[in-house]
A and B are shown apart, each in its own frame.
Chain A
Amino acid sequence: MATNGGQKVVWFQAAGCTGCSVSLMNAAYPDIKNLLLDELVPGKGISLLFHATLMGPTGRPALEVLERAPAQAAGDYILVVEGAIPTAHPNFGRVGEVPMAERAAELARKAIAVLAVGSCASYGGIPAGAPNPTGCVGMRELLRKEGADTPVVNVPGCPPHPRWFVETVVTLLTGGLPRPEDSDEAGRLKAVYQGLVHEHCPRRPDFDVDRFAPAFGSQGCLYELGCKGPFTNAACPEHAWNSGVNWCIRANHPCIGCTEPDFPDNFAPMFRKLSLEQELDTYRREK
């Protein structure tokens, strides 16, 4: 934006809730002002072209920015996608009359890379929950269907912690596109996501001695209340949330596995201890 020579970014919202944008606005060091105005790594910052929630222009002048980007900035912008992409019918989601799937695919084709922010843009997320009424898919799946080969980097979470977004962006600004071995099977940067919540959970000692919380509001390991920490890759225990003031498990709430593919169906019901069958499924998927 104010940064000369900044990396151009188009932020496209589809079937989502704006929670990923609000989460990014909760970033601290760098905060949202730094992200918009300053260099994030020496000599490089972000130049935001389009973001419907924050941008000044509205209607036609706003739409023109979005429509001109693929031609005027071809091969020169990163496309950030927030929200899943409805594919079952063109009328399930439109921006400026054009179906979201069409816009997302066109914007992605001319982008350097796609950052799929949040579990919806990464894997379909909540709107793709069974029976997935609108045929929602994540960006990898959309581009596979459309035969587009733009690389997609997933930054999942419902929403993702702002730090995971910032770490992924500064990685791209510093070293360019990630090598295949930098990402896990779910398309996330290993450096950002690898490590189970359970491995770093401060309540791990409770788990190890079978000290389980019996009900909401009580202390102890939350496994019996349905915690999905043992199967969820996320650095929540290390970072905590909202400038570190709290996070799900510290607030006595079981982890619901929101950074994993197939959330929210993977571990449903959320408040029930996983059955042995579900555990085995998860284990097989990971192997």
Chain B
Amino acid sequence: MTRLAIDPITRIEGHLKVEIQVEDGVIKEARCTGALYRGLEEILRGRHPLDAQRITTRICGVCPLAHSTAASLCLDDALGLSPPRAGQLLRNLIYGANFLHNHILHFYHLALPDYLPSGALPGALSPGTNEDRRFSPEEANRMASHYLQGLEVRRKAQELVALFGGKMPHDMSIVPGGVTYRPTLGEVAAFRFRLKEIMGFIEASYIPDLLLLAERYHDYFQIGTVENLLAYGCFPLEGEKLFPAGVFLNGGVVDFDPGEIREGFSHSWYQGDGHQPPWEEEAPPAPDKPGGYSWIKAPRYRGEPCEVGPAARVAVALARGREELKEIARDLLREAEASLGELSSAMGRHLSRGIEALVIGRAMEGWLSQLDLSAPVATEYRIPEGARGQGLSEAPRGAVGHWLEIRGKKIARYQVIAPTTWNASPRDAEGVPGPMEQALQGTKVARDGALEAGRIVRSFDPCLACAVQ
């Protein structure tokens, strides 16, 4: 038996350590450690409720929109606000642009080097190993040139966010009640053409590269699987979400009930065991706690660990019969020779992101054409003496939730459960491993397991600044 600590896991956001024990060529045990605690929930206490909008945005520089969106929904709920239609369309357009940025960055710059031969990328960018490389030299060169081109395309996707969102990273226009900014006709045109250019790259390069990866590494549809899937849903418009909420629990899809979420921390560095509802959670840090091995807590749905992210969103949306996805998902699954049940796998997650990029890009074109530039984009707010709010949405890497309690017009409690909190969670009080740990355990490995573990972990697109705030 060998024990390997992969620390740091690079090409993700933040500080993650993964420890694996390999026996007879199989990962027997895996543990994920979130290695940084900042205490933003503590920092938010006592502040003006609106400051949560800007401070929680700064939880993450890769997906700030995940938090500015969840915070605005949470404050909308607490303050009793409902954004006007134009405000909601603008929120969706800004957020959609962040998804496109994320999926391009994740595929080319974070995940792809795991499959490129040493030297295909220059200097420190080169993965420095040739283990299990299956692309021909021409294919690898083409992918590497798309890596470099992708740097520019992702910059343009950030400009797409900033056009209506103020700036990136740390967008500045989403506020409770809507958005601050009503774009000009010229900016709508600029948005449309940037979107067109980005979608051109997605269709001509990203999707074909993704399908080639899926063909060469088809075995990765059977690797890194998780049983339970959870989506809160996102991109609401008039009571419908482009990606609906739902839960795959023990094989069947059921309605999502936020009241079933509990966060435990029996193996995390906080005092106590947790398992209170998010609004009542008290978790003072306990950095020396015996038995603790991570700053990440262990959220569970009806007591079960659940994978969140693109695979969950796409699986739930298809089970719910969303027309916007059907054709695109069916085509990509057919071309990749994969089945619906294989979405939750190291390769299925990549494929799900490709499906999402196409679906979201298409939806954005529609939202843009519905935008009424003379309509109000925000409603006025008033801070109540006391209130509770809940904001549930989806980051590119999965379900994100914010919970707020206001007392005396100030933040009495703020609770964040982010996608990587779900995915990279440690064991719970029953000793059940988190989803990423489950995905790693049982994987056959060729050598010490670092290669397979890296590929599986990155397929989740982990974001540790989100997982532990």
Contact = CB atoms under 8 A, between A and B. Distances in A.
A209 interface: no
A272 B61 CA distance: 25
A15 B181 contact: no
Contacts of A31: 151-152, 155
B8 A52 contact: yes
Contacts of B269: 91
Contacts of A52: 8, 10-11
A195 B164 CA distance: 26
B234 interface: no
A63 B7 contact: yes
B78 interface: no
A18 B62 CA distance: 7
Given A241-B168, A264-B51, A269-B50, A55 B287 contact: no
Nearest to B175: A216
Contacts of B162: 241-242, 245-246
B59 A17 contact: yes
Contacts of B5: 59, 97
Interface stretch (A72-80, A173-181, A249-257): A249-257
Contact of A253 (B35, B154, B163, B166): B166
Nearest to B44: A129
A271 B48 contact: yes
A212 interface: no
Interface in A182-221: 215-217
Interface residues of B, number: 83
Contacts, number: 271
B392 interface: no
Contacts of A217: 178-182, 376-378
A233 interface: no
B177 interface: yes
Contacts of A129: 43, 55
By CB atoms of chain B within 10 A, which of A16, A126, A245, A250 has the most? A245
A133 B169 contact: no
Interface string B168-202: 11101101011111100001001000000000000
A245 B170 contact: no
A32 B168 CA distance: 16
A133 B377 contact: no
Contacts of B35: 93-95
A133 B285 contact: yes
A43 interface: no
A170 interface: no
Given A48-B124, A95-B8, A252-B181, A272 B151 contact: no
Given A58-B10, A92-B37, A93-B37, 13 more contacts: A23-B61, A28-B155, A32-B151, A50-B124, A53-B11, A59-B450, A94-B15, A126-B55, A133-B38, A217-B182, A248-B166, A253-B181, A256-B172
6 contacts: A54-B125, A59-B7, A63-B7, A134-B39, A245-B163, A264-B55
